[in-house]
């Protein structure tokens, strides 16, 4: 037992940072502090109950709840544009923009008076927050060795989640005491989120040669060369609109396995997003859960699992590949929506009513989302290899926006014209389909690699 604990400490980068290479150790310390602050801000104070606040405090309609569910993924549509602009440039200026307009802007909650203003504030925040992911993944790609990347990422996630848990319950308890307390939570979250991005901005990137020829240049019509101002305007418009899309299409054509993986992940995303408009309605109108109970079910339980399993999931990701890893995780996620709608009974635990379906469903969700978080953040690095990772991450995140435009609306339509229960069954179908797609892709990729190796040996 003692030797097991010693090995656990020795292999844990949070507890034993001296075992890390110098550049990884320096990066991990700032990464850890930044993520703890950011996780407390967003996952602890602001967004665990954001949709419930919108429904109860602002009496939002189903379509407004659906728009809220769409905002974060739709904002990701702009990620590919940010990634294209970032490629080969200093990332610190982008961190600075995200710090002010993607985090600190939350203090404007004090001026919000209705559901539409609330949605506008959240939309602006998500738009600029989509800068952070491509920028920070560039840091992870360059400063973390490939064999430690999953473990470092998982350990940072677990540590940040551990610190966040008390804040999650506190925010639910405070809102149950006073529903207007969301203003205080948003202001504190905005300041902490601002500090988290500024800390990530301090990390210096270890530069290394990037393979040439990974971007696609779009020719400018020669006629504009006679008019420099028009040429400059066309180049700016091209860089912000057409070029990123062409780069993504060219990337998918060149990296077929990555394109198929993104297709399978798209199906998973439909399962995740289609259910978002239905969950607040289910919790508020069907099971009538108070804020603090929702905090425990939706956030505390998954957070405990995040703490216990993140490092392990990181190691499994290192030893496997994203396709095989996601096939297992997505199969597990099938149970999440099914349990919520098939176990509606309530039991008494410590003199408090507990909805069995909601708690067991979110327990399964917690198990699955640990793996999904690891895969979502690191799969682009896996496929990028030595290429510019921001282009892969930009394509990865932008497709979140594509499904974000349709999946919540699909959930709203099914909820409105079929039934609330049908949305949960549709979600389970998408999770199952994604798992099968990932399993097929893993097997076909392995066979292709074996054939290539045999041809090379011959």
Average pLDDT over residues 404-415: 93
- Residues contacting residue 326 through CB under 8 Å, at least 6 positions apart: 264, 265, 268, 371, 372, 375, 379, 434, 435, 438
103 falls within a domain: yes
Give the SS3 label for residue 289. coil
Alpha helix locations (H) across 238-333? 243-254, 256-273, 278-281, 291-295, 301-319, 322-333
pLDDT in tens, 383-402: 877 666 667 776 777 787 78
219 falls within a domain: no
At 13, the pLDDT band (50, 70, 90 cuts) reads: low
What is the pLDDT at residue 150?
Answer: 74
What is the pLDDT at residue 392?
Answer: 78
At 10, the pLDDT band (50, 70, 90 cuts) reads: low
9 falls within a domain: no
At 157, the pLDDT band (50, 70, 90 cuts) reads: confident
Query: Which position has the token pair 């993986």?
Result: 261
Domain CATH code at residue 182: 1.20.1250.20
Average pLDDT over residues 315-339: 89
Top pLDDT among 37 and 139 is at 37
Query: Rounded to the nearest 5 degrees, what angle is found at the Cα of 165, between the Cα atoms of 160 and 167?
Result: 105
Whether 351 shows a pLDDT value over 60: the answer reads no
Nearest to 77 by CA among 119, 130, 122, 134: 130
Least-confidence region, from 59-63, 88-92, 227-231? 227-231
Contact yes or no for 179/67 (Cβ under 8 A): no
89 falls within a domain: yes
Contact yes or no for 346/352 (Cβ under 8 A): no
In angstroms, the CA 390 to CA 138 distance is 6
3 falls within a domain: no
At 344, the pLDDT band (50, 70, 90 cuts) reads: low
Diameter over CA atoms, the chain: 80
DSSP string, 142-200: HHS-HHHHHHHHHHHHHHHHHHHHHHHHHHHHHHHH-GGGHHHHHHHHHHHHHHHHHHH
Q: What is the DSSP letter of 311?
A: H
What is the pLDDT at residue 219?
Answer: 36
What is the pLDDT at residue 222?
Answer: 39
Average pLDDT over residues 151-163: 82
Least-confidence region, from 14-18, 79-83, 146-150, 151-155? 14-18
439 falls within a domain: yes
At 4, the pLDDT band (50, 70, 90 cuts) reads: very low
The helix, strand and coil proportions of the chain, stated in percent and rounded to the nearest 5, come to: 80, 0, 15
pLDDT in tens, 70-111: 988 887 777 666 766 776 677 788 888 889 999 999 999 999
69 falls within a domain: yes
Whether 198 shows a pLDDT value over 60: the answer reads yes
Domain of 92 in residue numbering reads as 14-204+233-450
Nearest to 152 by CA among 21, 43, 261: 21
Nearest to 413 by CA among 273, 274, 283, 282: 274
- Domain total in the chain: 1
In angstroms, the CA 173 to CA 184 distance is 13
Contact yes or no for 76/404 (Cβ under 8 A): yes
Least-confidence region, from 52-61, 236-245, 290-299, 406-415? 236-245
Share of the chain above pLDDT 70, in %: 79
173 falls within a domain: yes
Query: Which position has the token pair 């954001």?
Result: 50
Give the SS3 label for residue 384. helix
What is the pLDDT at residue 14?
Answer: 53
Nearest to 288 by CA among 46, 43, 52: 52
């Amino acid at each position: 037992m003692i030797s097991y604990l010693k090995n656990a400490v020795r292999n844990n980068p949070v507890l034993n940072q001296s075992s890390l290479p110098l550049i990884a150790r320096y990066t991990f310390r700032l990464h850890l502090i930044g993520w703890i602050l950011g996780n407390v801000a967003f996952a602890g104070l602001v967004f665990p109950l954001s949709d419930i606040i919108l429904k109860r405090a602002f009496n939002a309609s189903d379509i407004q709840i659906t728009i809220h569910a769409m905002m974060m993924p739709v904002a990701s549509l702009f990620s590919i544009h940010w990634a294209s602009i970032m490629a080969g440039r200093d990332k610190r200026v982008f961190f600075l923009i995200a710090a002010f307009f993607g985090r600190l802007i939350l203090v404007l909650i004090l001026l919000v008076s209705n559901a539409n203003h609330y949605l506008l504030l959240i939309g602006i925040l998500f738009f600029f927050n989509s800068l952070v992911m491509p920028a920070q993944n560039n840091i992870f790609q360059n400063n973390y060795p490939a064999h430690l990347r999953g473990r470092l990422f998982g350990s940072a996630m677990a540590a940040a989640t551990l610190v966040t848990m008390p804040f999650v319950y506190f925010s639910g308890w405070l809102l149950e005491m006073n529903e207007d307390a969301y203003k205080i939570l948003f202001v504190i979250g905005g300041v902490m989120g601002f500090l988290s991005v500024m800390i990530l901005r301090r990390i210096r990137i270890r530069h290394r040669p990037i393979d040439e020829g990974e971007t696609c240049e779009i020719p400018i019509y020669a006629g504009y060369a006679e008019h420099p101002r028009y040429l400059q305007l066309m180049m700016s418009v091209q860089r912000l609109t057409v070029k990123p899309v062409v780069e993504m299409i060219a990337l998918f054509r060149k990296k077929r396995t990555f394109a198929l993986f993104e297709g399978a992940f798209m199906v998973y995303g439909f399962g995740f997003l289609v259910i978002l408009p239905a969950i607040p309605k289910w919790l508020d109108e069907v099971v009538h859960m108070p804020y603090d109970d929702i905090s425990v079910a939706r956030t505390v339980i998954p957070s405990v699992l995040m703490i216990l399993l993140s490092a392990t999931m990181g190691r499994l990701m290192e030893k496997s590949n994203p396709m095989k890893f996601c096939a297992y995780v997505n199969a597990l996620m099938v149970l999440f929506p099914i349990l919520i709608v098939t176990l509606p009974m309530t039991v008494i635990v410590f003199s408090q009513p507990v909805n069995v379906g909601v708690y067991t469903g979110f327990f399964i969700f917690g198990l699955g989302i640990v793996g999904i978080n690891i895969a979502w953040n690191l799969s682009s690095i896996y496929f990028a290899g030595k290429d510019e990772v921001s282009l892969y991450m930009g394509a990865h995140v932008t497709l979140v926006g594509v499904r974000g435009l349709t999946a919540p609306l699909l959930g709203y339509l099914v909820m409105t014209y079929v039934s609330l229960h049908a949305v949960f069954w549709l979600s389970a179908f998408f999770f199952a389909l994604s798992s099968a797609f990932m399993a097929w892709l893993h097997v076909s990729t392995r066979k292709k690699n074996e054939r290539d190796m045999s041809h090379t040996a011959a």
